[in-house]
A and B are shown apart, each in its own frame.
Chain A
Amino acid sequence: MKMYWLPLAFFILQSCVKDEGQLPVAANLSPGNVAPTDVVEDSDAPVIVVGTDPLFAQSWHLLNTGQTSYSTNPGTAGEDVNIEEVHALLHRGTGVRIAVSDTGVDTTHPDLDDNEIADSHRNYIFSNSSDWHGADPFPSDGEAHGTAVTGLIAAEGWNGVGSRGVAPEALWSAFRYIQDYSPGTSSIAMHLDQMEGDFDIFNYSYGSRECGFTPLVPSSHAKLLEGVTTLRGGKGAIYVQSAGNGFLASDNTLEGCTGYYANTNIDAELTSPHKIIVGAINALGLKASYSTPGSGIWVSAPGGEDGTTDPAMVTTDIQGCSQGLSIRNFLFPTAFDFGSHADNLLCNYTNSMNGTSSAAPVVSGVIALMLEANSDLTFRDVKHILAMTAVPIDLIALNTLNHPGGGALDLLGHQYDLRWTTNNAGRPFSNFYGFGRVNALEAVNEALIYSTDLGLYARTIDPNSDLTYYDSGTLVGVTIPDNSITGIVNSMTSFHNYIIEAVQVEFTTDHPKPSELAVHLISPGLTTSRLLNINSGVDDNIIATSTLLMTNAFYNENSEGTWSIQLIDGSNTDVTAASLTNWKLIIHGHKEPIPVGSESPPTAITGLVPNPLISLSTTVSPLFTITDPANASVLRYEVSIVDSSNNVVADWYSIQNSMTFTTTLQGTNVFADGTYTVKVRSVDIDEEVSTIPFSLAWTVNIP
Chain B
Amino acid sequence: MKKYFFIVLFFVFLIMINLWIAKKNPSEKTAELLLTPLMRIAQKAPSDSIITGRTPASTVAAKTHYVPHVEHSFSPDPNVTLDRGQILTLDIGAIPKNLYKPEMGELISEDKQYKYYKKSPTRDSPEGVHPVAYNPSKNRFRPISSVVHLKNVNEGQRQEILSAGFEEYYFDQKLKILFIQTSATEVLDVYQVFKDKGLSVHLEILALPLKAH
**Chain A residues engaging chain B, CB cutoff 8 angstroms:** 1-5, 8-9, 12-13, 16, 102-103, 129, 145, 177-181, 183-189, 192-193, 205-210, 212, 215, 219, 222-223, 226, 230, 242-245, 253-260, 355-357, 360, 513, 515, 537, 539-543
Contact = CB atoms under 8 A, between A and B. Distances in A.
Contact of A206 (B65, B137, B175, B211): B211
A188 B149 contact: yes
Nearest to B146: A184
SS class, residues of chain A in contact with chain B = loop
Contacts of A188: 149, 179, 204, 207
A621 to B, nearest CB: 26
A183 B208 contact: no
A211 to B, nearest CB: 8
Given A9-B10, A209-B209, A541-B139, A186 B66 contact: no
A215 B213 contact: no
B169 A189 contact: yes
Interface in B183-207: 183-184, 204, 206-207
Interface in B146-199: 146-147, 149, 169-170, 172, 174-175, 177, 179, 181, 183-184
Given A4-B18, A209-B208, A223-B175, A189 B213 contact: no
Contacts of B172: 189, 192-193, 219, 223
Range of interface residues on chain B? 35 or more
A543 B113 CA distance: 27
A145 B212 contact: yes
A359 to B, nearest CB: 9
Interface of B: 3, 6-7, 10-11, 14-15, 17-19, 21-22, 56, 60, 63-67, 83-84, 94, 112-113, 130, 137-139, 143-147, 149, 169-170, 172, 174-175, 177, 179, 181, 183-184, 204, 206-213
A183 B206 contact: yes
B56 A541 contact: yes
Contacts of A242: 213
A215 B211 contact: no
A181 B144 CA distance: 11
B183 to A, nearest CB: 8
Given A186-B145, A541-B138, A226 B113 contact: no
B64 A184 contact: no
Which of A103, A222, A360, A540 gathers most chain B CB within 10 Å? A540
A541 B52 CA distance: 13
A382 to B, nearest CB: 21
Contacts of B17: 4-5
Contacts of A543: 137
Contact of B149 (A180, A186, A226, A355): A186
24 contacts: A1-B18, A2-B18, A9-B14, A12-B10, A16-B3, A16-B7, A129-B179, A181-B209, A183-B144, A185-B147, A186-B170, A189-B147, A205-B212, A207-B213, A208-B211, A212-B137, A212-B138, A219-B172, A244-B213, A258-B64, A259-B65, A357-B213, A360-B213, A541-B137
Contacts, number: 165
Nearest to A189: B170
Nearest to B138: A541
Contacts of B145: 181, 183-187
A186 B146 CA distance: 8
A185 B209 CA distance: 13
A215 B85 CA distance: 11
A515 B64 CA distance: 10
B170 A129 contact: yes
Which of B19, B112, B149, B213 gathers most chain A CB within 10 Å? B213
A357 B211 CA distance: 10
A360 B145 CA distance: 31
A565 to B, nearest CB: 23
Which of A179, A245, A355, A539 gathers most chain B CB within 10 Å? A539
A186 B204 contact: yes
A258 B67 CA distance: 11
Which of B6, B94, B207 gathers most chain A CB within 10 Å? B207
Contacts of B209: 178-181, 209
A182 to B, nearest CB: 8
Contacts of B83: 215
Given A9-B10, A183-B144, A186-B179, A542 B137 contact: yes
A652 B149 CA distance: 29
B213 A245 contact: yes
Contacts of B211: 178, 206-209, 253-254
B190 to A, nearest CB: 14
Given A12-B7, A184-B146, A540-B63, A4 B207 contact: no
Given A180-B112, A180-B113, A244-B213, A187 B60 contact: no
A256 B65 contact: yes
Given A2-B22, A186-B169, A360-B213, 11 more contacts: A1-B22, A103-B212, A181-B207, A184-B184, A188-B149, A193-B172, A206-B210, A209-B210, A243-B213, A540-B60, A541-B139
A633 to B, nearest CB: 32
A677 B80 CA distance: 40
Contacts of A223: 172, 174-175
Nearest to B136: A541
A184 B112 CA distance: 17
A480 B183 CA distance: 48
B101 to A, nearest CB: 18
